[in-house]
Chains A and B, each alone.
Chain A
Amino acid sequence: MSLETIDLTLMCEAVPHLQDINAVFERGRLTAVIGRTLAGKTTLLRSIAGLQERIEGRLELDGRNFSALPPWKRDVAMVYQQFINYPHLNVYENIAFPLRRKHQADDVIRRKVEQILTMVGLSGFETRKPSELSGGQQQRVALARALCREADILLLDEPLVNLDYKLREQLREEFRDLLVARTDAIVIYTTTEPAEAMLLGDRVVVMHEGRILQAGSPAEVFDRPVSEVVAGIVNDPPMSLFPGALDGRGIALEGGISIEAAPHMAGLPPGRYRFGIRAGELRMDGNTLRGRVVFTEVSGSETSLYLETPCGALAVQREGVHVYPHGALVHVGLPAHRVFVFDSGTGALVAAPLAGAN
C-alpha cells in the first residue's frame, strides 16, 4: 500500500504554502518530515487528511483517487500538537470513539482499548476525563486513540512540541517503540528537531517554504544534505557557513585563515565556494580560528557557543555544561576532513565528508 501525492499545491494570496509536492509514502514505514515553522508540514498533513481547502493537485492511494474522499471516509488518524481529546468523554470512551463509529462489538472494543491502554502506560485511567490528566497523559490518550483504530494512515503533527523538555525526552522513546511496532500502516511524523527526525524516521523528508528539498534515509540526509538550506535544517545548532576559495594550496577563508584541503575535496576545480562545518565537529582549544563569545546556550548535556570570528559567525557545540562570559576569547580547530563544500552561487552540495562508521 502506498500513498502518493501528485503536484500538491496550495497558494494563499500569492504566498505559496505548498508547491508541487510529489512524494510517495509506503506502508510499514515511518516518514519523518522535518522543516522549520511555516515550512508547510502541517499543511501537507492536513491535505492528506482531507481537512485543507482549496488544495490543487491529487492524492492517490494504491492508484485510486484519494482526493475525492471526504475526511470521514479516508481512514486517517491524526495526533495534534495541542493534546486534542474529546473533553466530554472519559479516557475509555475517547479511545473507543472511532471504534464505535465503525460499529464494532462491545467486547472487541473492550479488548482493544485495554490492550492499548497497557501499551501507553495508562491502565487504570479508564474513567478519568481529559481535563484531569497532565499534558503528557493527554497526549498519550490521543496517541492511544490514533493507534487503537488501526487506521491505514497515521499522521502526527509535532506531537511533542508542547511538552516540557524531560517529558519530551521520555515520550520520544515511548512513541518510538509504539510506532515502530505498527508495521502495517503509513506513518508520517512532522517535527522541527533533527534529533527526533533521525531517531524516528525510516525515511526523512526535508521541507522548506512549501517545497520538498530532499528525501532519503536519515543517514543520507544527514551525511549528504543536498544544499546549504537542508544542512541548516537537519543540524541543531545550524551548520556554520563561510565564503572562501579553494585552490591548489588549500582552503582560504576570510580574515586570512587558511587550512589544508581534505581528501574528499580532491576532485573539485579551484574557485570560490561556501564551506560548512557542524557545530559539534569543531575542536576546542584548536588553533585554526579565534573568536569572541557572543552568546552561550545550554541544551541538554551540551553547551553551544556562538562566536564572532574573522571569517564570520560560528556556532560551536561542546559536551557538558560550560559557562563562557560574554566576549571571552575561544580558540577552535577546524578539521578539514569534516568540512562540507557548497556551490557559492546555488548553495548545492559539491563535496561532503566521508560518512561515519554507523
Chain B
Amino acid sequence: MARIHLSRIGHAYTEGAYALAPSDITFDDGGTYALLGPSGCGKTTMLNIISGLVKASEGSVWFDDADVTGISTANRNIAQVFQFPVIYQSKTVFENLAFPLRCRNWGRERIRARVVQVADILGLTARLGRSARSLTADEKQLISLGRGLVRDDVAAILMDEPLTVIDPQMKFELRRKIKQANEQTRLTVIYVTHDQNEAMSIADEVLVMEQGRVVQRDTPSRLFESPVNTYVGNFIGSPGMNFIPLRRHETGLAIGRHLLPAVPVEVLACASDQAVTLGVRPEHICFCRQEQPGALPVSVLAKHDHGRIFIVDIDIDGSPAKVKVAREQGIPPGRAWVALPADRLRFYAADRLIASA
C-alpha cells in the first residue's frame, strides 16, 4: 500500500501538445479514486504514468517517499486490470490466482489460504476448480482483479475501464463485487472510466478531467452539489444542471425581468463587466403557488414522461430550463410559478463557481 504522489507531472506525446498538463497530484493510501472524463482527456495517460507503462515527459512519480520514476512497471508492485480480461486460459481459477504467489515462492499452505480468502471476497469460491476458459467475461475480469489482490506487496490497483466489455446486465454485479473487494482490502485503487455513474458509485473521490487537466477533484456528493464550472455541472447528473444567464439590475441580479431574491453578497460585489450565470439543478426547482415569496412566473413548454418522474421544459422569461417532477405531483399547464430554493443556487462568473447561497 502506498501513497502516490505525482510531482509536476506532465506528458506530451508530440512537441507542444500536452496530453496531460503539468500539475501536482496526490493519492492517499487506501483511498479509492476515479479518473473521469471523455476519451482524450488524459485519464489513461495518467494511469499509465503511475503504472510505469508510459514515462512522463516531465516530472516525477513518488510512492510513499521513494522516487519510482525510473523504476520499471514490474518493480513498482502495481496490479493493473485492463479492459480485456488477462488470464491464463489453460489453468484453473485457483492456479490463476495462485500464480503471482508461486512466482514469489510462497509456501503451499500460505498460497492456499490466501487464494481461498480472495476468492471468497470476489465470490469465486465455487469456481476455484474450473478451467479459466469456461468462465464468463465478468468472472474473467474478477480473476484479473483477484490476481492483484492476492499479493501482499501491492502498492496500488489500477483499473482501466474494466467494465467496458461486460454485458450491461452483469455490470451491476461486477461493480458491486469490485466495490466490496475495495472496502474489504482497503488498497489504494485508481479507477479510470468515462461513465459518470461508475465513477460516482465506486470512488471516495472523483477527479473530473478534461483536455489533460483535472477540472474538479471532490467527493461524489460535492461534485453533484457544487460543480466548479459549467462543464462539470453538465457532465454530472441527469439531466445536467440548468445554467441561466443573469442580468444586472440596479438592485441586484435578475432572470429576464424578474429579480432574484437572496443573492449572496460576493456575487453582487463582483465586477460589473462579468457575466454572471445561475446554476440550479432540475430536481431543486419546484412548482409553487403565486403567493409564495420569491416565486417566479414561467411558461410550461412541454412535459416528458420518464416513468417515475417527469421532466418539464419551462421558460423563465426567455431562459429555458428543466424541472424534475415526481409522477404523483401535478404539473400546471401553460403559465405557472416556480420557487428556487436559496441554498441550492450556485453562481458562476467567467465559468467558475464564485458562490453558493
> Is there a contact between chains A and B in the complex with CB atoms less than 8 Å apart?
yes
Binding site for B on A (CB under 8 A): 36-37, 161, 164-166, 169, 176, 192, 194-195, 197-199, 218-219, 222, 234-236, 278, 280, 295-301, 317, 319-323, 325-326, 356-358
Q: Is the CB of B307 within 8 A of A298?
A: no
Q: Is the CB of B197 within 8 A of A234?
A: no
Cβ–Cβ < 8 Å partners of B295 in chain A: none
Cβ–Cβ < 8 Å partners of A195 in chain B: 306-307
Binding site for A on B (CB under 8 A): 38, 167-169, 172, 175-176, 179-180, 183, 194-197, 200-201, 204, 219-221, 223-225, 234-240, 281-283, 303-310, 324, 326-331
Q: Please, how many angstroms separate the alpha-carbon atoms of A197 and B306 in the complex?
A: 8
Q: Is the CB of B238 within 8 A of A169?
A: yes
Cβ–Cβ < 8 Å partners of A169 in chain B: 238-239
**Which of B175, B224, B305, B308 interacts with A235 by CB under 8 Å?**
B308
Q: Smallest Cβ distance from B209 to chain A, in angstroms?
A: 15
Q: Is the CB of A357 within 8 A of B329?
A: yes
Q: Please, how many angstroms separate the alpha-carbon atoms of A149 and B199 in the complex?
A: 41
Cβ–Cβ < 8 Å partners of B237 in chain A: 300-301, 321
Q: Is the CB of A320 within 8 A of B327?
A: no
Given contacts A295-B176, A301-B224, A356-B327, contact A165 B168 (CB under 8 A): no
Q: Is the CB of A161 within 8 A of B308?
A: no
Q: Please, how many angstroms separate the alpha-carbon atoms of A309 and B121 in the complex?
A: 22
Cβ–Cβ < 8 Å partners of B220 in chain A: 298, 321, 323
Q: Smallest Cβ distance from A144 to chain B, in angstroms?
A: 23
Q: Is the CB of B195 within 8 A of A358?
A: no
**Most chain B CB inside 10 Å of its own CB: which residue of A169, A298, A320:** A298
Q: Which 4 A-B pairs have the closest CB atoms?
A: A300-B238, A298-B200, A321-B224, A357-B330
Q: Please, how many angstroms separate the alpha-carbon atoms of A204 and B148 in the complex?
A: 46
Chain B residue with Cβ nearest A337: B328
> What are 29 A-B contacts with C-beta separation under 8 Å?
A36-B169, A164-B194, A165-B196, A169-B239, A194-B307, A195-B306, A198-B305, A199-B306, A222-B307, A222-B327, A235-B307, A278-B308, A280-B309, A295-B176, A295-B180, A297-B197, A298-B201, A298-B220, A300-B237, A301-B224, A301-B281, A301-B282, A301-B283, A320-B224, A321-B224, A325-B183, A357-B330, A357-B331, A358-B303
Q: Is the CB of A165 within 8 A of B328?
A: no
Q: Please, how many angstroms separate the alpha-carbon atoms of A190 and B211 in the complex?
A: 35
Q: Is the CB of B201 within 8 A of A296?
A: yes
Q: Smallest Cβ distance from A214 to chain B, in angstroms?
A: 15
Cβ–Cβ < 8 Å partners of B179 in chain A: 295, 326
Cβ–Cβ < 8 Å partners of B238 in chain A: 165-166, 169, 299-301
Cβ–Cβ < 8 Å partners of A323 in chain B: 204, 219-221
Cβ–Cβ < 8 Å partners of A199 in chain B: 304-306
Q: Please, how many angstroms separate the alpha-carbon atoms of A84 and B254 in the complex?
A: 48
**Most chain B CB inside 10 Å of its own CB: which residue of A176, A198, A301:** A301
Cβ–Cβ < 8 Å partners of B309 in chain A: 280
Cβ–Cβ < 8 Å partners of A161 in chain B: 168
Q: Please, how many angstroms separate the alpha-carbon atoms of A194 and B329 in the complex?
A: 19
Given contacts A165-B195, A300-B197, contact A356 B169 (CB under 8 A): no
Chain A residue with Cβ nearest B183: A326
Q: Is the CB of B235 within 8 A of A166?
A: yes
Q: Is the CB of A37 within 8 A of B168?
A: yes
Cβ–Cβ < 8 Å partners of A36 in chain B: 169
Cβ–Cβ < 8 Å partners of A234 in chain B: 307
Given contacts A297-B201, A300-B237, A357-B329, contact A321 B305 (CB under 8 A): no
